[in-house]
């Protein structure tokens, strides 16, 4: 029995060893797999904002991918200094061009790498707004100063102007060029004016009613072209031209105050940049004038007015070309001789020497020159001048503002400006014709009026002022027309002769 048991136990042991051995050979071996490296693509911004001027930004790209590609969305104003790169940290310089458009613009930059989602960066650029943030800056492409045809100083130009004429109630008319009864300006009219011994024309001009975009003070190209066409009529006749911003709804003239100063200066800048650029190629025969009759009554308002004039000068000069040397005209307070003498004690700064003129107007005495009905404070004057008073209608004789006053007023301008090398433009003067009178009274009035016009021209020339007669175009009673603009003939020969007589 023992032998059998031993044999059985031995057999069992071998069997168990075999089973264990087989089991051990078939157990799986645990293998630790190496995890793949996560792909990364990181940039330092998701959005970039630029001003409207040329700009630069350094975009940082950090990636562990072998290669990447960067591109813009087909945008010409945006450029990259490189378009590909490899793993690691790279820098791409993004450049923007100047945005001359009023509108802002945007683009998308995309960074692509294999095996990972693209990264997108938004790029924004502001529209062309000026530093004051109110209106766009229209002087985006100033050109180098061009002295060709611009050699004359203000004094030398003044010496060339003998007698000037106003194209009144036309390009400044509210509602359009013909809204106040005058026909469209023609080259034939300007030729007729030149043929009658005027060698300079002042063009009162409205701008604010010709806006393509009121929000941005953008002028219509069609209006700029029309004004340019009329200026060309004058230049073709070898005449000097003074072009201004006239009353224009009063946005400047009725707002010479601290409250309105910022907004008015913004519009003054926007308008004059556009005007100056559009007319930049005319030679020295074209002069620009800041305003018309700005209402200023005291030193505080005068300081504000000078800021408007300074804006005008800076805007024109900044456009370059011939405008860098153009003679410019600034207006006295209300263009009134006495106020100008009292308040205009200094002028705005012009870095170009000897290229400024001052402007005043003369309708004195008002009761003779312009008044059309009696008022509680005074009556109309029909007769002016010591030798032209009526003996039968003496209540209508001028009681002030006659020869001595005329001489004294103009002497003020001579001593204040002309003697210091600053020419003075007598931008407007006239006396209306009172055709409601009859008989001897009418004839005396007409003779008196002719004497007044002759005297104004004489005293202007004697004191170095440049006389520009105000012709509103309308004919008949209470008119100041010299020419019939429908057929380009002389309408008021007596007044025309008087003006020319004043030159002798």
* Residue 112 belongs to domain spanning: 41-125
Write the burial class of residue 351 (CB in 10 Å: 0-12 exposed, 13-18 middle, 19+ buried).
Answer: exposed
Q: What is the pLDDT of residue 104?
A: 67
| DSSP-assigned states of every residue in 420-435 | GT--EEEEEE---B-T
Domain endpoint, select from 99, 125, 151: 125
Residue 31 lies in a domain: no
For 418-453, b where at least 16 C-beta lie within 10 A, e where not — what string? beeebbbbbbbbbbbbbeebeeebeebbbbbbbbbb
Is 136 a domain residue?
A: no
Mean pLDDT score of the chain, rounded to an integer? 92
Are 175 and 49 found together in one domain?
Answer: no
User: Nearest-5° angle of CA 98, CA 99, CA 103?
Assistant: 170
Residue partners of 15: CB distance under 8 A and separation at least 6? none
- Which of 98, 125, 152 delimits the end of a domain? 125
C-alpha span between 309 and 244 (Å, rounded): 12
Q: Look at the alpha carbons of 173, 177, 183, 187 in this order and tell me if their dihedral is positive or negative.
A: positive
pLDDT grade for 33, boundaries at 50, 70 and 90: low
CATH number at residue 248: 3.20.20.80
Q: Does residue 242 share a domain with residue 183?
A: yes
Other CB atoms within 10 Å distance of the CB of residue 287 = 23
Residue 347 in tokens: 């002028």
CATH of the domain at 47: 2.60.40.10
Higher pLDDT: 29 or 1? It is 29
Predicted pLDDT at 36: 75
Q: Are residues 115 and 194 located together in one domain of the fold? A: no
pLDDT band at 53 (very low <50, low <70, confident <90, very high): confident
- What the block records as the tokens of 330 is 């600034």
CA distance 343 to 408: 17
Assess contact for 207 and 270: CB atoms under 8 A: no
Whether residue 360 contacts residue 426, with contact meaning beta carbons closer than 8 Å, is answered with yes
Residue 428 falls in the annotated catalytic set: yes
What is the arithmetic mean of pLDDT over 282-295? 99
- Which single residue is written with the structure tokens 């004697």? 462
Is 456 a domain residue? yes
**Shared domain check, 468 and 358:** yes
Are 198 and 276 within one domain?
A: yes
Mean pLDDT score, 225-242: 99
pLDDT at residue 31 above 70? no
Same domain for 266 and 177: yes
- Interval 97-107: pLDDT, tens: 877 554 567 88
> Tell me, what's the pLDDT at 32?
60
Residues 69 and 196 in one domain: no
257-286 mean pLDDT: 98
Domains identified in the chain, total number: 2
Same domain? 153 vs 238: yes
Residue 24 inside a domain? The answer is no
pLDDT 10s digits, 336-352? 999 999 999 999 999 99
Residue 13 lies in a domain: no
pLDDT for the residue numbered 55: 85
Evaluate if residue 448 carries a pLDDT over 60: yes
423: left (phi over 0), alpha (psi -120 to 50) or beta: beta
- Active-site annotation holds for 403: no
Res. 387: pLDDT tops 60: yes
Tell me the backbone φ, ψ of residue 115, rounded to 5 degrees.
80, 15
253, 284, 359, 428: which is the annotated catalytic residue?
A: 428
Confidence of residue 4 (pLDDT cuts 50, 70, 90): very low
225 Cβ partners below 8 Å, 6+ apart?
278
> In this predicted structure, what is the pLDDT of residue 117?
87
What digits encode the pLDDT tens for the residues 114-163? 888 899 999 988 765 444 679 999 999 999 999 999 999 999 999 999 99
pLDDT at 15 exceeding the cut of 50: no
Q: Domain check: are 345 and 258 in the same one?
A: yes
Strands 116-125 vs 47-50: parallel, antiparallel or unpaired: parallel
Q: Quick one: pLDDT at residue 47?
A: 92
Backbone angle region of 24, left / alpha / beta, with phi > 0 → left and psi within -120 to 50 → alpha: alpha
pLDDT at 102: 46
Looking at the domain assignment, is residue 138 inside a domain? no
Q: Which of 125, 153, 178 is the last residue of a domain?
A: 125
More confident residue, 15 or 416: 416
What is d(CA 396, CA 158) in angstroms, rounded to the nearest whole number? 37
Helix count and strand count (H, E) for the chain: 11, 21
What pLDDT band is residue 30 in, cutting at 50, 70 and 90? low
So what's the pLDDT on residue 99? Answer: 74
- Sign of the dihedral through C-alpha 475, 481, 487, 490: positive
- Under DSSP, is residue 418 helix (H, G, I), strand (E, B) or coil? helix
What is this structure's pTM?
0.77
* Mean pLDDT for the stretch of residues 366-370: 99
Same domain, 434 and 361: yes
Residues 6+ apart with CB under 8 A from 394: none
- Among the listed residues 273, 284, 293, 402, the single catalytic one is 293
Of the candidates 472, 465, 416, the residue with the CA atom closest to the CA atom of residue 170: 472
Same domain, 201 and 118: no
Distance between CA atoms of residues 382 and 395, nearest Å: 9
pLDDT (average), residues 220-248 = 99
d(CA 282, CA 454): 33
Contact 453, 469 (CB under 8 A): yes
Specify whether 160 is located in the same domain as 300. yes
Among 284, 356, 256, 275, smallest CA distance to 318 is for 275
Tokens for 416?
């204040």
Antiparallel, parallel or unpaired: β 218-219 and 211-213? antiparallel
Does pLDDT of 464 surpass 70? yes
d(CA 410, CA 312): 26
Residue 12 confidence class, pLDDT cut points 50, 70, 90: low
Predicted confidence (pLDDT) at residue 217 exceeds the cutoff of 90: yes
Residue 434 lies in a domain: yes
Interval 425-446 mean pLDDT = 98
- List the beta bridge partners of residue 488: none
Residue 317 resides in a domain = yes
In this predicted structure, the answer to whether residue 502 has a pLDDT above a threshold of 60 is yes
pLDDT band at 282 (very low <50, low <70, confident <90, very high): very high
């Amino acid at each position: 029995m023992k032998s059998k048991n031993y044999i059985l136990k031995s057999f069992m042991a071998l069997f168990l060893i075999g089973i264990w051995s087989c089991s051990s050979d078939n157990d799986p071996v645990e293998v630790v797999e190496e995890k793949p490296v996560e792909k990364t693509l990181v940039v330092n911004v998701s959005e970039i904002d630029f001003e409207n001027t040329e700009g630069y930004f350094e975009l940082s790209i950090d990636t562990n991918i072998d290669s990447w590609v960067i591109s813009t969305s087909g945008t010409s104003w945006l450029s990259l200094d490189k378009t590909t790169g490899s793993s690691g940290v790279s820098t791409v310089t993004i450049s923007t061009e100047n945005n001359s458009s009023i509108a802002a613009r945007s683009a998308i930059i995309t960074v692509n790498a294999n095996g990972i989602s693209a990264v997108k960066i938004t790029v924004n650029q502001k529209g062309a707004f000026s530093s004051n943030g109110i209106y766009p800056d229209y002087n985006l492409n100033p050109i180098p100063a061009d002295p060709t045809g611009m050699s004359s100083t203000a004094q030398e130009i003044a010496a060339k102007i003998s007698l000037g004429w106003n194209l009144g109630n036309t390009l400044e008319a509210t509602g359009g060029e013909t809204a106040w009864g005058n026909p469209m300006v023609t080259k034939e009219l300007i030729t007729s004016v030149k043929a009658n011994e005027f060698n300079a024309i002042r063009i009162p001009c409205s701008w604010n009613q010709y806006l393509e975009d009121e929000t941005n003070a953008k002028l219509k190209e069609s209006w700029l072209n029309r004004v340019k066409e009329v200026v060309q009529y004058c230049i073709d006749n070898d005449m000097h031209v003074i072009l201004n911003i006239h009353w224009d709804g009063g946005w400047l003239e009725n707002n010479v105050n601290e409250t309105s100063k910022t907004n008015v200066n913004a519009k003054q800048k926007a308008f004059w940049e556009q005007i100056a650029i559009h007319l930049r190629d005319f030679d020295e025969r074209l002069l620009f004038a800041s305003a018309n009759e700005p209402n200023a009554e005291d030193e505080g308002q005068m300081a504000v007015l000078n800021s408007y004039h300074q804006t005008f000068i800076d805007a024109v000069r900044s456009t370059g070309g011939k405008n860098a040397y153009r003679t410019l005209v600034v207006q006295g307070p209300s263009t009134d001789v006495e106020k100008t003498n009292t308040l205009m004690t200094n002028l705005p700064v012009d870095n170009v020497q000897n290229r400024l003129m001052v402007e005043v107007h003369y309708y004195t005495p008002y009761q003779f020159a312009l008044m059309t009905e009696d008022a509680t404070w005074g009556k109309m004057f029909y007769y002016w001048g010591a030798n032209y008073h009526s003996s039968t209608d003496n209540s209508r004789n001028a009681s002030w503002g006659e020869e001595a006053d005329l001489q004294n007023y103009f002497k003020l301008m001579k001593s204040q400006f002309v003697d210091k090398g600053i020419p003075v433009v007598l931008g407007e003067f006239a006396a209306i014709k009172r055709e409601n009178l009859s008989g001897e009274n009418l004839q005396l009035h007409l003779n008196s009026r002719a004497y007044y016009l002759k005297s104004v021209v004489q005293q202007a020339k004697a004191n170095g002022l440049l006389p520009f007669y105000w012709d509103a175009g309308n004919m008949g009673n209470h008119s100041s027309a010299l020419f019939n603009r429908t057929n380009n003939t002389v309408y008021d020969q007596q007044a025309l002769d008087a003006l020319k007589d004043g030159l002798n």
